[in-house]
Amino acid sequence: MASDANTCWLKVEPNSVFTVNGLGWYNQNNGSFCRLPLSREKEIAAANPSTWRLSQCPVDARIRFKTDSSQLKLRITPGNDESSRFDMWHMSSVAVSGIDLYIGAPGNQDFWLNTHPKKGSDICDHVFFEKKVCQMREFTLYLPSYTNIKALEIGLDPNAMISAPSDYKHKKPIVIYGTSITQGGCASRCSNSFIGITGRRLNSDVINLGFSGSGNGDELLAELMSQLDASVYIVDPLANMNEYMHRYEKFVNILRSRHPEIPIVLMTEIHFAYEIDDQLESAKKYGLKHKILFETYHKLKESGDKNVYVFDAGAIIKAGGDHPTVDGSHLTDAGFYAIAEKLAPLLENIIKSTGK
Amino acid sequence: MASDANTCWLKVEPNSVFTVNGLGWYNQNNGSFCRLPLSREKEIAAANPSTWRLSQCPVDARIRFKTDSSQLKLRITPGNDESSRFDMWHMSSVAVSGIDLYIGAPGNQDFWLNTHPKKGSDICDHVFFEKKVCQMREFTLYLPSYTNIKALEIGLDPNAMISAPSDYKHKKPIVIYGTSITQGGCASRCSNSFIGITGRRLNSDVINLGFSGSGNGDELLAELMSQLDASVYIVDPLANMNEYMHRYEKFVNILRSRHPEIPIVLMTEIHFAYEIDDQLESAKKYGLKHKILFETYHKLKESGDKNVYVFDAGAIIKAGGDHPTVDGSHLTDAGFYAIAEKLAPLLENIIKSTGK
């Protein structure tokens, strides 16, 4: 705890007053804002260096707390990895590096503000508000989708009350594995990945294991994913699986063998804008990949598995028309909402039916 | 006309093979990609320098043509105004500076690709495609929403057929005046301003006179707007009118006095995310502005005007919940689609009823 004249700075760390959701190995990683276990870095990086690099982007991780502080500030120590991005050609700096603030308990959250990211590796302070009436408010901060964070401190009144946030209605997280699209590319701000939106709609915790360009179905990732208890597993790597589809069934089977009871949702791939020009070739490629998806699904069903589902994202995002992507392949917020609109009720029914 | 070995470069200019829509003074401006008349620069800049600067951003301007070329390239000469932006903290470079390509006739257009903007003032070439089967295709290029373009050349096969594009179903444009939100801030790509989306839905030409931070209801802008024949006028400046509401009624009356028959739609202001925290003060401010809007509306109605309408954007974009803005005030694509979803049918009915 450090203090300025009128602000008390509290570090976000394990066993602090702040609850951190969405990072599966947060305590084991000693509070690193990393989405995979630090102890497995070598193996993960050996399988795919990008997976490791992108695991440092804490998309859909949330810091939650209640406080009656009249001020709320954030001191951000950027990740010092040189590969850490600030913005991209199709994602603004607030989309890549911003932190979104919501007010209200889960199930009743309002987006309020976000940070205005500053380029470089300097520590920077962001004032969300100050001089407000002191009253208990509940906050959720969504961490960046595509950049690294080394450390965070939250600045409150020195005498502020701080207490634990409300529980999610569904405490066990929805855990999703996938691609850049899963990771929230190209949402306009970090909390608008489709699983982030879905989590808010369902009042559920989520863990996002989307890795841009790297959702290649590595067996290792299935093993790591299966370490996480979940209300539902969602398997959404198809856009990155072109030459890796031989891994698909095994990936799913690893999850199923370790967790016979956790529902598994297999997501189809969205359609890309370029497919309008290339309909036969695209349909062939799409068909080949999805043949394997459906074979995996049917084999499980035929073996008596009552907890495996297909979610057809490709039926929602089709080629043609206005196509809700920034660049023909990465969804805009309109695309992410279209997915969440259909995914949320499916997951709600699944979670209800399993009583989790 | 300049030629590389296998590409013929054709300048986009008045009386060329290309049709340019969405720039009200295009011929008079000798083909400048400017949204206001060059001859009035001094007056416009004197009234508000930002209006002039932003008029150089050709949002919702379109270049249209049919060709059987096997290739489509674009040679972009960036605006050399130092104030011309490349990206912004809440808009990526493709959102600010990109050019979107659609294929198909109006009413049946598919988004296909966009340019990958390069920083700096160098001329740059973008290859949309090459080596395609030669067949007649119809194209629409949407020009950037928030940056300047000095010149454009389109690269086609030297022997390509080029012909005029299909007419819009509604040839007279919908003309809208407004703010940064009107200008498409913060759509993920330039063709996703709400009036751009609406134009595609209605198969109508549009002219976007949105000027970020500068929709201050200048009388001069009403005079300029009234130079443009239109199917509908939309008046959408409220977010920039805080201390200028005394201009509002006069602005509307200038349009009405010069065009007794053109329908006028008065748009209410969207609600901003911060209003959740500041409900009483926000409601008061919102109420004061809208009192003037509704007084203007009722006076016209009482005078027998049958062609004035209110479009309540504030009923669509409310404070709270996920709020479809990037930063609490500028809409995401999800927000723009929500507006277009309601605006398009209203405008369709209005245009039908006037037979334009």
CB contact A16 to B (< 8 Å)? no
CB contact A112 to B (< 8 Å)? yes
- pLDDT tens digits for A111-157? 999 999 988 888 999 999 999 999 999 999 999 999 999 999 999 99
Model-level ipTM above the cut of 0.90: yes
Give the model's pLDDT for residue B3: 57
Give A84's pLDDT tier (boundaries 50, 70, 90): confident
Phi then psi dihedrals of residue B271, to 5 deg: -90, 145
Pick the last residue of a domain from A163, A183, A206: A163
Give A3's pLDDT tier (boundaries 50, 70, 90): low
- Nearest CA-CA distance, residue B48 and chain A, Å: 27
A276 and A230 in one domain? yes
- Nearest CA-CA distance, residue B268 and chain A, Å: 21
Pick the last residue of a domain from A124, A147, A163: A163
- pLDDT tens digits for A172-209? 999 999 999 999 999 999 999 999 999 999 999 999 99
Which CATH number characterizes residue A317's domain?
3.40.50.1110
A215 and A241 in one domain? yes
The backbone region for B5, taken as left when phi is positive above 0, alpha when psi lies in -120 to 50, beta otherwise, is: alpha
A205 and A130 in one domain? no
Over residues A219-236, mean pLDDT: 98
B305 and B156 in one domain? no
Separation of CA A216 from chain center: 17
B131 and B16 in one domain? yes
Poorest-confidence range of A41-45, A87-91, A278-282? A278-282
Which CATH number characterizes residue A92's domain?
2.60.120.260
CB contact A274 to B (< 8 Å)? yes
**Domain, as residue range, for B131:** 2-163
CB contact A189 to B (< 8 Å)? yes
What single letter denotes the amino acid at residue B324? P
Give the model's pLDDT for residue B356: 54
CB contact B88 to A (< 8 Å)? yes
Give A281's pLDDT tier (boundaries 50, 70, 90): confident
B144 and B45 in one domain? yes
For A185, nearest residue in chain B (alpha carbons): B188
B144 and B30 in one domain? yes
Pick the last residue of a domain from A119, A137, A163: A163
Give A77's pLDDT tier (boundaries 50, 70, 90): very high
Over residues A281-294, mean pLDDT: 93
CB contact B320 to A (< 8 Å)? yes
A210 and A155 in one domain? no
For A106, nearest residue in chain B (alpha carbons): B321
Give the model's pLDDT for residue A333: 98
Give the model's pLDDT for residue A83: 62
Give the model's pLDDT for residue A192: 98
**Cβ neighbours around A72 below 10 Å, total:** 26
The tens place of each residue's pLDDT in chain B, 356 residues long, gives 555 779 999 999 999 999 999 999 999 999 999 999 999 999 999 999 999 999 999 999 999 999 999 999 999 999 866 667 899 999 999 999 999 999 999 999 999 999 999 888 889 999 999 999 999 999 999 999 999 999 999 999 999 999 999 999 999 999 999 999 999 999 999 999 999 999 999 999 999 999 999 999 999 999 999 999 999 999 999 999 999 999 999 999 999 999 999 999 999 999 999 999 878 888 899 999 999 999 999 999 999 999 999 999 999 999 999 999 999 999 999 999 999 999 999 999 999 998 75
B224 and B78 in one domain? no
What one-character DSSP code corresponds to residue A107? Answer: T
Q: How many domains does chain B have?
A: 2
Is pLDDT at A356 greater than 80 in this prediction? no
Q: Which residues touch A243 (CB under 8 Å, ≥6 apart)?
A: none
For B320, nearest residue in chain A (alpha carbons): A110
B51 and B35 in one domain? yes
- Nearest CA-CA distance, residue A50 and chain B, Å: 23
B144 and B176 in one domain? no
Which H helix or E strand runs over A102? strand A100-103
Is pLDDT at A1 greater than 60 in this prediction? no
B340 and B242 in one domain? yes
Over residues A242-264, mean pLDDT: 97
Judge: A192–B332 Cβ closer than 8 Å, yes or no: yes
